Structure 1
Amino acid sequence: MPSTWLRRKGFTLVELLVVIAIIGVLIALLLPAVQQAREAARRIACINNMKQFGLATHNYHDSFNTLPLSINANRAVLPYIEEDALSEMYDPGLAYDDGTNVALLTMMPDTFQCPSAPESGVPTIETGVQTSDYAFSGGSPWGELLFSPSIHYARYNFALQSGKRPFGKITDGLSNTMLQIESGGRAHVWIQGQRLSWYPNYDYHGSDWAWGEDTEAWTGTGAVCCGQLMSTYATFTPNPTDPTGGIPTRVDFTGGNINQTNMHAWPYSFHPGGVGVLMCDGSVHFLPEYVSPDVFKAIVSSDNGDMIESGYIQ
């Protein structure tokens, strides 16, 4: 029998390398599609969370003929998102961090967590409280000076301000007024996709960068997205010697992107291109991060007479 018949058939080295190269190309082509599909699923879950908040707020309004106060909206809607047990555990006669209310600080429901936010639901480093990835609208104690040192807008009201606030007082229209917006990852300070590591036990304990734990704890004053929005349109420059460990430089009124930082419960998400926003009619939209100050002002105001033109929100 010829010796050629005894040879073992198989791939040559060149053929094997070609196959490996083809597989590598296919993986490189498929990986972004897989990542996009995962993010799309996470974004849908985030939208569903906000829709639950919208439905819960409407059910609350049906019961009391008013919107819940922004300072305790998270606690107020608990019975309407099937969290009656947590609602009954909370003692309104005590501070959020006193007595039996302490246990609730680390019992935040999944509805308050955006799946795209890194370490969503992880307690803060120093005090160990959980923070919501969503912020309800609140009043504007600063009044006029909001977006530009040279432009003074008339003082306007938010939907969930103090006092009785039925839907009838939202004269700009429920579909034109913001009820809640994403403000993700607030167990830590994030700026432009970078988690800052400076002063790691600094997490929201008061300063120019934060208001204190009571506004960030999910059972605290509600993590209100407030009217001091000038830094929403700011420019942030990383510390040149320590980009993640040093305090960045902030220049207000100079930027054009609202998805800059989560400090002060400002609009911030980990979804590419913008942030989710819940309107007072219960609809959820995707607000582009480069929305103009005028449009954003119209969205957050509730009775200022300004309307949103079609096409500005998705």
Structure 2
Amino acid sequence: MPHRTQQKGFTLVELLVVIAIIGVLVGLLLPAVQAAREAARRMSCSNNFKQIGLALHNYHSAYNMLPAHSAGTTNTANSGNPNPSRRADGGGGHNRNELSWLPGLTPFFEQQALWEQISNPMDSDGDGVIDFQAMGPDARMNLSDHNAAGNRYRPWLTNVPTLRCPSDPGEGLPAQGRTNYAACLGDSTHHMHCGAEQDRANIPNGNWAQAERAACRGTFVSSRSTGFREILDGLSNTIAAGEIITSLGDRDIRALPPDAPTSIQANSGDPTGPDNALACRDMIDPERPLFWRSGAPFVASPAVTGPAGEMERGYKWAYGRPLFSAMNTILPPNSEICMQGNRHNEGILPPSSHHQGGVHVLMADGAVKFITESIDAGNSGAPPVRWDGWAINPAGSPSPYGIWGALGTRASKEVIDQEF
């Protein structure tokens, strides 16, 4: 009888067992791999912020001041509608005093080439007048940071790697150049969009200096330069800037600003009424608490000259309006944002991130710290410190927003003596 050779191989049961074991191992390892990748992205984000902190200190060493936020050039103070085609002498262009704190820092974080474009904006003949013809069709409108006409001013469209957190997946239109790092304007909304001096028409009896001292309490004050000498609470106790997400177009409560019911602590708004820090909270979707509910008011008012789709968080790194490049310490990190009517002026703008549990902040001494969402934020519905007829918390008052609010102020005599 011929000898039959036995075939070697795996049975079906053995194969299924091996596949099951591999599946279990993948299931166990995948979260660890994802966590390691996010840890690396978070470290890279922190390093970017440290670079900005070094740039900030180098700028201060060079000029003995910090870069001004929401400042620049204009032919009239707080000139209102963009008018880049006219200057006092009839020519040239300007940026309406609305550049953010970031353009001036570009040569200090290895973006000298970009700074050369910004500081020499297509003036080929050196006469001080921008050559609009060299910028393409409708270029006269392009110097205004938010107009929709024609080709845009290229430096403002540039995505700068140092200004982006790797954990933020946002890219492309309708954003211009995105930023994940925003200047800290303090713990109040009052005058945050243009500074008290530029907002003097809304301040009774011309007391804009008192109004500024009362409400503009952050490391940065819109429309003027500040310096380390003004940070009396100590550089290590004061936030200079915070991390923000950029909008992904998904109705995220941290990125898409709804229109507040009326004026959200604004110039003519009563902060003891319904227009307080919680003005937009009723618009959150109860079934999806990280997103706004359907039907919430998101249409920009006629006062906003650009398309509403561009009016979202972090969309314009060079633009000094608070929605794009500023934050305050009223609501704790990763809370909802809420703007005054047209998304363009005052607002509740906490920092935010895609990191688990909190955000990075840059302290004025250059240190980068991770602040958790559970930080003591006091009474989030309290009116802010301000100077006018509604001053429930008058100038010099401690921040009503706990440790978080105190960290946002530069000279309120609130020194933090504990780890945060």
Q: TM-score, normalised by structure 2?
A: 0.57
Q: Decide whether the 8 Å contact of 2:240 with 2:362 is kept in 1.
A: yes
Q: Decide whether the 8 Å contact of 2:185 with 2:216 is kept in 1.
A: no
Q: After TM superposition, give the deviation of residue 130 of structure 1 in Å.
A: 2.6
For residues 2 and 198 of structure 1, do their structure 2 counterparts lie closer, same or farther at Cα, with a shift above 3 Å needed?
farther
Superposition map of 1:1-314 within 5 A: 3=3, 5-71=4-70, 72-90=100-118, 94-96=143-145, 102-119=153-170, 121-124=171-174, 128-138=175-185, 140-142=188-190, 155=215, 157-161=217-221, 162-186=223-247, 188=249, 189-191=251-253, 194=290, 212=311, 216-221=315-320, 223-227=324-328, 230=330, 232=331, 258-261=333-336, 265-293=349-377, 294-312=402-420
Q: Distance in 2 between matches of 1:34 and 1:59?
A: 37
For residues 100 and 75 of structure 1, do their structure 2 counterparts lie closer, same or farther at Cα, with a shift above 3 Å needed?
farther
1:207-251 C-alpha deviation (Å, 9 max, x unpaired) = xx9994798411111634344x55x3xxxxxxxxxxxxxxxxxxx
Residue in 2 that maps onto 1:240: none
Q: Distance in 2 between matches of 1:2 and 1:220?
A: 89
**Runs (5+) with no aligned partner, structure 1:** 144-153, 233-256
Q: Distance in 2 between matches of 1:170 and 1:211?
A: 34
* Structure 1 runs of 4+ with >6 Å offset: 98-101, 195-199, 202-205
1:34-81 C-alpha deviation (Å, 9 max, x unpaired) = 001000000001001100110001011011111111222111100101
SS at match of 2:101: helix
Q: Distance in 2 between matches of 1:156 and 1:174?
A: 17
1:119-156 C-alpha deviation (Å, 9 max, x unpaired) = 2x4332xxx4132111111254428xxxxxxxxxx746
**Identical aligned residues as a percent:** 36
For residues 300 and 62 of structure 1, do their structure 2 counterparts lie closer, same or farther at Cα, with a shift above 3 Å needed?
same
Q: Distance in 1 between matches of 2:49 and 2:336?
A: 20
For residues 103 and 163 of structure 1, do their structure 2 counterparts lie closer, same or farther at Cα, with a shift above 3 Å needed?
closer
Q: Decide whether the 8 Å contact of 1:186 with 1:262 is kept in 2.
A: no
For residues 42 and 213 of structure 1, do their structure 2 counterparts lie closer, same or farther at Cα, with a shift above 3 Å needed?
closer
Letter in 2 for 1:167: F
**Runs (5+) with no aligned partner, structure 2:** 71-99, 122-129, 131-142, 192-213, 255-288, 339-346, 378-401
Letter in 2 for 1:77: L
Q: TM-score, normalised by structure 1?
A: 0.74
For residues 220 and 163 of structure 1, do their structure 2 counterparts lie closer, same or farther at Cα, with a shift above 3 Å needed?
closer
More helix by share: 1
